[in-house]
Amino acid sequence: MKRYLTLALLILSCCTANAQDLNARVKVVAPKVQVTNRRIFQTLETAMKDFLNGRKWSSDAILPQERIDCNFVLNITNWDGSSNFSGELQVQSSRPVYNSTYTTTLLNINDKDVDFTYNEGQTIDFSDQNFQGNLSSIMAFYAYIIVGMDYDSFSRYGGSQYFLNAQSVAINAQTSSFKGWKAFDSNLNRYWLSENLNNKLYLNLRGFIYDYHRNGLDIMAENAVKGRKVIADLLPTLAQVDRKRLGSYFPLAFFTAKDDELVSIFSGASSRDKLQAMNILLQADPSNGNKYQLLKGN
């Protein structure tokens, strides 16, 4: 009996050690590309999925049921019929809320600077030490961001190492001619996302993300009033963040992921609390003002 128990524990430890971090669903679409044989897009989709799900992105042992749910939708807008592709990449990730069936969005980004080369059947290579290709660098960059955001939501500043890893990918990619990796390409690109996430100016927003999820959302299933009160008390932090650098990428990415959820949370609050939340959110995120104005009428 003891021998069987030891064998079972050994098998379990091996499975855990080999378990990967992401449960990535990948979709490649090309509605604007007029070709008869679309097999190349199916092959690319499989290669991207294998790359994301087949690698270890974190340093911890992750159980299969703990893998991070995420979606990568690549919209190919141009293909030269050979190996050169251009498009946009929608990246989303989420995590479960404790003691509920609800999942909360952590990341929802549309990257418009996705140019790369790919040949059917090609192995997608990546190295943390140097630039191997733009497609692999983009996927690795967002894989590290996804893991970092997940860790930040479970432990205060828990994602720091993974944000540094993403920044390292961005720095290595600056040796290439591809857009999206350099400060002057745009104020809303991969360079600025990693810069913001590693900048001490935004530690309070990262701290907010932890408190919002662990001390707010994660207790709402048991005590909605208490969880909402925690989040309401945290809201002034958001207005303070936006005053530091108006239009910065990290705050914008946060609100893109959370604007609808914030409205939903405070829809169940008292009229007074709704009004207070609305005023703070309008100040912190004026671009989504129409959504927050709904709180006035609820």
pLDDT of residue 34: 87
Q: What is the pLDDT of residue 296?
A: 87
Q: Do 78 and 210 have their domain in common?
A: no
User: Does residue 217 lie in a domain region?
Assistant: yes
| Residue 161 covered by a domain | no
Tokens of 297: 């009428």
Percent of the chain exceeding pLDDT 70 equals: 91
Tell me: pLDDT of 183 over 50. Answer: yes
Q: Does 49 fall in a domain?
A: yes
Q: Please state the rounded mean pLDDT for residues 55-62.
A: 93
Whether 198 shows a pLDDT value over 70: the answer reads yes
Q: Does residue 168 lie within any of the structural domains?
A: no
Instruction: Kindly tell me if the per-residue pLDDT of 243 is higher than 70.
Output: no
Give pTM, 2 decimals.
Answer: 0.92
Is residue 96 one of the residues assigned to a domain?
Answer: yes
Instruction: Say what the pLDDT of residue 9 is.
Output: 38
Number of domains into which the chain is organized: 2
Residues 135 and 220 grouped into a single domain: no
Last residue of a domain, one of 96, 111, 145: 145
Identify the residue with better confidence: 165 or 221: 165
Q: Please tell me the distance from the alpha carbon of residue 262 to that of residue 13, in angstroms, as a whole number.
A: 40
In a domain, 126, yes or no: yes
Looking at the fold, whether 101 and 234 belong to one and the same domain comes out as no
Q: Where are the beta strands (DSSP E) in the chain?
A: 22-29, 68-79, 84-96, 103-117
Report the alpha-carbon distance of residue 235 to residue 237 in Å, rounded. Answer: 5
Between helix 134-154 and helix 39-53 the angle, nearest 10°, is 40
Helix (H, G, I), strand (E, B) or coil at 128: coil
Could you tell me the residue range of the domain that residue 287 belongs to? 206-297
pLDDT of 141 above 90:
yes
Q: Count of CB atoms within 10 A of residue 287's CB?
A: 11
pLDDT score for 7: 38
For residues 113 and 181, give the distance between their C-alpha atoms in angstroms, rounded to a whole number: 9
Based on the domain organization, do 10 and 129 belong to the same domain?
yes
Does residue 12 sit in the same domain as residue 127?
A: yes
Residue 130 scores a pLDDT above 80:
yes
Strand pairing partners for 41? Answer: none
Q: Are residues 217 and 131 in the same domain?
A: no
Rounded distance between C-alpha atoms, residue 48 and residue 31, angstroms: 19
pLDDT given for residue 174 in this prediction: 96
Share of the chain above pLDDT 90, in %: 84
Q: 55 near 143, Cβ under 8 Å? A: yes
Confidence (pLDDT) at 4: 39
Q: What is the C-alpha to C-alpha distance for residues 57 and 259, in angstroms, rounded to an integer? A: 28
* End-to-end alpha carbon distance in the chain: 62
Q: Does residue 119 sit in the same domain as residue 8?
A: yes
**Position 30 confidence tier, pLDDT thresholds 50, 70, 90:** very high
Query: What is the rounded average pLDDT of the residues 132-160?
Result: 98
- Asked whether residue 137 falls in the same domain as residue 232, the answer is no
Q: In 10 A of CB 178, how many CB atoms?
A: 21
Tallying the residues shown for the chain, one arrives at 298
The stretch 173-198 carries a mean pLDDT of: 95
Instruction: Locate 212 and state its tokens.
Output: 């919002």
User: What band does 281 get if pLDDT is binned at 50, 70 and 90?
Assistant: very high
pLDDT at res. 114: 98
Kindly state whether residues 141 and 263 are assigned to the same domain. Answer: no
Query: Residue 238: inside a domain, yes or no?
Result: yes
Which pLDDT does position 242 carry in this prediction? Answer: 60
11-28 tens-digit pLDDT: 344 444 456 999 999 999
pLDDT at 38: 85
Tell me: do 246 and 118 sit in the same domain: no
Place of tokens 């001619």: 177
Q: Assess whether pLDDT exceeds 90 at residue 210.
A: yes
Residue 166 within any structural domain of the chain: no
Domain end call among 145, 180, 196: 145
Q: Are residues 83 and 211 in the same domain?
A: no
Last residue of a domain, one of 114, 145, 176: 145
Tens digit of each residue's pLDDT (9 = 90 or more) over 71-92 = 999 999 999 999 999 999 999 9
Q: Can you state the angle between helices 236-244 and 249-267, rounded to 10 degrees?
A: 160
